[in-house]
């Protein structure tokens, strides 16, 4: 009987693994993902074109440019389009700063604006589509020199990709560690990412759906 309850407790513990344990990421190094199988992955945030507003000629030109860009690459890339919660963090911080320096009447008004903005961030109906492009580089050894050499090669790939996309008129930004954390959070726990978006790169062990359930219950 004792073994039965012990096995049941172990099974429950396995089911409640934190998201960090499920994601095959060893570390984040200045916007670069270091995976468990010793690869470096660079995540780039890319803008988009409104193809619906283009004429037939403009559409063909854009597609031809993108085809030439892909043909110019000698390494594989991966693209992803993801629906993520609206990020109003900087807007909320600016309102909080204004609130601290305002009169009591304005403070009450700004308090309402802040609550509304935070509600929009956690609303499942308010989402934004983010476009990502990923580049990878294998770490060929276990020494610091091998790691740094792989980082140099990855940086060269990043510059080539960034230059090619910017020539097309697209905007390319390197994803920060916080951007990457939110990206992985959305992949592995979409519900939790909607109700409780990650606000800081320093994250406590996070059980899938757990934090969102706790917030909803409280």
Per-residue model confidence as pLDDT tens digits over 148-157? 999 999 999 9
% of the chain with per-residue pLDDT over 70: 72
Residues sharing a CB contact under 8 Å with residue 55, sequence separation 6 or more, in sequence order: none
pLDDT of residue 148: 93
- pLDDT of 214 reads 43
Q: Which residues contact 174 (CB under 8 A, 6 or more apart)?
A: 31, 42, 43, 44, 45, 158
Query: Per-residue pLDDT for 125 more than 60?
Result: no
Q: Which of 82, 5, 76, 72 is nearest to 46 (CA)?
A: 82
pTM of the entire predicted model: 0.66
Lowest mean pLDDT segment, chosen from 104-108, 129-133, 140-144, 154-158:
104-108
- In this structure, of 134-138, 155-159, 183-187, the range with the lowest mean pLDDT score is 183-187
Lowest average pLDDT, out of 25-29, 108-112, 130-134, goes to: 108-112
What confidence category does residue 68 fall into, taking pLDDT thresholds of 50, 70 and 90?
A: very high
Q: What is the pLDDT of residue 173?
A: 93
Over 80: is that where the pLDDT of 17 sits? no
Q: What is the pLDDT of residues 87-122, one digit of tens each?
A: 666 677 777 777 777 777 777 787 887 777 766 666
pLDDT mean over 5-28:
63
**Residue 211's pLDDT is what?**
42
Model confidence at 171: pLDDT above 80: yes
How many CA atoms does the CB half-sphere of 133 hold within 13 Å?
22
Average pLDDT over residues 26-54: 90
Per mean pLDDT, which range of 13-22, 72-81, 117-126, 190-199 is the poorest?
13-22
């Amino acid at each position: 009987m004792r073994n039965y309850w012990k096995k049941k407790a172990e099974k429950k513990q396995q089911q409640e693994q934190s998201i960090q344990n499920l994601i095959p990421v060893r570390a984040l190094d200045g916007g670069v993902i270091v995976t468990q199988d010793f690869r470096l992955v660079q995540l780039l945030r890319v803008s988009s074109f409104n193809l619906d507003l283009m004429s037939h000629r403009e559409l063909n030109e854009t597609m031809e440019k993108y085809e030439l860009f892909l043909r110019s690459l000698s390494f594989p890339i991966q693209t992803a389009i993801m629906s993520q919660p609206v990020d109003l963090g900087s807007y909320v911080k600016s309102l909080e700063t204004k609130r601290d320096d305002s009169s009591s009447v304005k403070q009450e008004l700004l308090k309402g604006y802040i609550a509304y903005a935070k509600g929009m961030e956690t609303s499942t109906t308010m989402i934004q589509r983010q476009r990502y492009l990923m580049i990878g580089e294998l770490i060929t050894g276990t020494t610091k020199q091998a790691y740094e050499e792989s980082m140099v090669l990855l940086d060269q790939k990043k510059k080539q990709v960034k230059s090619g996309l910017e020539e097309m008129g697209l905007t390319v930004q390197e994803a920060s560690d916080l951007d990457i954390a939110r990206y992985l959070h959305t992949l592995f726990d979409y519900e939790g990412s909607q109700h409780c978006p990650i606000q800081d790169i320093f994250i406590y062990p996070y059980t899938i759906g757990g934090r969102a359930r706790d917030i909803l219950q409280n």
